[in-house]
Amino acid sequence: MTLKVTWYSHACFLIETDNTKLLVDPFLTGNPLAPVRADQIQADYILVSHGHGDHVGDTVEIAKRTGATVISNYEIQNWISGQGVADVHPQHIGGGFDYPWGRVKLTIAQHGSALPDGSYGGNPCGFLFYIQGKKIYHACDTGLFYDMKLIGEEGVDLAILPIGDNFTMGPDDALRAVKLIKPTQVIPIHYDTFEVIKQDPRAWAVRVEKETPSKVTVLQPGEHVAL
């Protein structure tokens, strides 16, 4: 059984098992780094971490076209349903659910969550996936928080961490996050999409691999890792 994890730039990932496609934070339209268009994407589930436009992105359009189930917090679910998306599954922070493809638990994130039209988007979250014996922690948009240590205690195979600074953790705090989580592998995200989050991911990778046992994989948009 293969697990393919493809980065579509910013915070957007496609996680594929042999028969299920999970799309996270599909910001493609208006994203200068997106390697694919929203209308080229297939998904069975779409996970939305928080209400900001660079994360909700094309969720409504892709969900309507593909019939994907949208997983998010209760407040975002209400808003998504109001846009005409029929298949939604609300969860909330600290809660996990067993889907046919595996489990996902919503984790805390230190951020905001207002929706694009100003609607209340509840609290932002990250995602801890348990799929085919692997654990993937997608931190989504967040500042550094010490409870990342608790997430790391679960034994994280792959951590997906923002390094862009300005809106989220920057390189220094993301390095501290790696030390708290202790993942086997790390992928840096949420950089270079906009001028204010320009970073050098390779320089960050060198620092992380010098100071921790974690392996850093710097992807180009559209590239993937197999777990």
* 23 neighbors 34 (Cβ within 8 angstroms): no
Size of the site for Mn ion (CB under 5 A): 2
Give least dist CB 116 to Ni ion, A: 11
**Does residue 25 touch Mn ion according to CB under 5 A?**
no
β-strand partners of 103: 98, 130
Residue nearest to Ni ion (CB): 52
Shortest Cβ distance from residue 140 to Mn ion (Å)?
8
If binding is defined by CB under 5 A, does position 173 make contact with Mn ion?
no
Residue ranges in contact with Ni ion by CB under 5 A: 52, 141
Report the chain's C-alpha Rg in angstroms. 16
Among 54, 75, 165, 173, binds Mn ion (CB under 5 A): 54
Cα–chain center distance at 206? 23
Report the residue number, 75 or 141, with the smaller CB distance to Mn ion.
141
Alpha carbon of 19 to those of 43, 44, 45, 220: distances in Å?
11, 9, 12, 25
CB of 51 to Ni ion, least distance (A): 8
For residues 224 and 227, give the distance between their C-alpha atoms in angstroms, rounded to a whole number. Answer: 10
Please give the DSSP secondary-structure letter assigned to residue 172.
H
Q: Report which DSSP code applies to 219.
A: P
Binding partner of residue 25 among Ni ion, Mn ion, none, CB under 5 to 8 Å per kind?
none
Specify the stretch interacting with Mn ion by CB under 5 A; choose among 33-41, 129-137, 139-147, 191-199.
Answer: 139-147
List 16, 58, 75, 141, residue binding Mn ion (CB under 5 A): 141
Distance CA 110, CA 66 (A): 31
What does 173 interact with, of Mn ion, Ni ion, none (CB < 5 to 8 A by kind)? none
CA–CA distance, 120 with 78 (Å, rounded to integer): 10
In angstroms, rounded to a whole number, what is the distance separating the alpha carbons of residues 149 and 152?
5
**Measured between alpha carbons, how far is 161 from 144 in angstroms, rounded to an integer?**
10
Q: Which is nearer to Mn ion, 51 or 152 (CB)?
A: 51
Residue 46: CB minimum distance to Mn ion, A: 16
Judged by beta carbon distances under 5 to 8 A according to partner kind, the member of Ni ion, Mn ion, none in contact with residue 44 is none
Contacts to Mn ion by CB under 5 A: 54, 141
